[in-house]
C-alpha cells in the first residue's frame, strides 16, 4: 500500500474512529484528541502495518492502547508524594471508614447471616474469604476440590437469600 493510499484510507476511516471513541470517553474534546493521537501514531508507525491486516482493527488497537496509556499517565499524575523532610504524611493513620469494613453495619449484618448457615458450608466459605485457595481448603478439610467449590457456592447462595435488603 502506497503512502497516498494509506493516507486516503485513514481519512476514510476517521468518522468510524470518532464513533469508536465513545467506547472510551463521552467527552467531545477527549474524543477528538484520541482520534488525532491514533491517526498520528498510525502515520508514525505506518511501516509496522502489514498489507494483509485489517486496517480498522489495527487502528482500533492503536486507539485502545493510546487510551490506556493516557489513562495510566493521568493516574500517575494524581499520585501524591510526601516531600517533607521526615516523611510525616506517610505515617499518618487513615481515618476513613471504608478502610475498616468490619466497623460498618452492613458488614456486621452480613457476617451474622453468614454465621447462621450450616457448619459444613460455613467452614470452607470462611477459609475462602480469608484468603485460602481452593486447593488449600481441600487439603485442610480432606475433601475433594469440587466439594469445596460446591460448598462455597451454596454458602454464598444461602447468605444472599438471607440478605434480601441488599439485592
- Tell me which of 23, 44, 78 is where a domain ends: 78
pTM value is 0.46
Give me the CATH number covering residue 152: 1.10.10.10
Q: Are 155 and 128 in contact (CB under 8 A)?
A: no
Residue 3 has pLDDT above 80, yes or no: yes
Give tens-digit pLDDT for 117-137: 888 888 888 888 888 889 999
Q: How many domains does the chain have?
A: 2
Q: Quick one: 70 and 108 in the same domain?
A: no
Residue 36 counted as domain residue: yes
Q: What is the pLDDT of residue 119?
A: 85
> What is the overall mean pLDDT for the chain?
80
- Tell me which of 78, 110, 142 is where a domain ends: 78
Q: What is the mean pLDDT of residues 14-19?
A: 88
Please tell me the distance from the alpha carbon of residue 136 to that of residue 127, in angstroms, as a whole number.
9
Give tens-digit pLDDT for 37-56: 999 999 888 888 888 888 88
- Tell me which of 78, 111, 136 is where a domain ends: 78
Give me the CATH number covering residue 12: 1.10.1740.10
Please tell me the distance from the alpha carbon of residue 137 to that of residue 152, in angstroms, as a whole number.
11
Q: Quick one: 11 and 68 in the same domain?
A: yes
Domain of residue 8, residue span: 3-78
Q: Quick one: 74 and 121 in the same domain?
A: no
Please tell me the distance from the alpha carbon of residue 49 to that of residue 68, in angstroms, as a whole number.
21
Residue 55 counted as domain residue: yes
Amino acid at each position: 500500500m502506497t503512502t497516498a493510499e494509506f493516507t486516503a484510507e485513514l481519512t476514510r476511516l476517521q468518522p468510524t474512529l470518532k464513533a469508536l471513541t465513545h467506547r472510551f470517553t463521552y467527552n467531545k474534546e477527549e474524543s477528538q484528541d484520541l482520534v488525532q493521537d491514533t491517526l498520528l501514531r498510525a502515520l508514525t508507525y505506518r511501516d509496522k502495518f502489514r498489507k494483509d491486516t485489517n486496517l480498522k482493527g489495527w487502528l482500533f488497537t492503536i486507539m485502545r492502547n493510546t487510551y490506556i496509556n493516557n489513562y495510566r499517565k493521568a493516574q500517575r499524575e494524581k499520585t501524591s508524594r510526601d516531600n517533607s523532610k521526615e516523611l510525616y504524611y506517610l505515617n499518618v493513620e487513615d481515618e476513613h471508614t471504608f478502610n475498616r469494613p468490619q466497623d460498618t453495619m452492613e458488614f456486621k449484618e452480613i457476617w451474622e447471616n453468614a454465621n447462621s448457615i450450616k457448619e459444613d458450608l460455613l467452614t470452607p466459605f470462611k477459609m475462602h474469604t480469608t484468603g485460602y485457595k481452593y486447593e488449600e481448603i481441600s487439603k485442610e478439610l480432606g475433601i475433594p476440590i469440587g466439594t469445596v467449590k460446591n460448598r462455597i457456592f451454596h454458602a454464598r447462595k444461602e447468605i444472599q437469600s438471607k440478605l434480601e435488603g441488599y439485592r
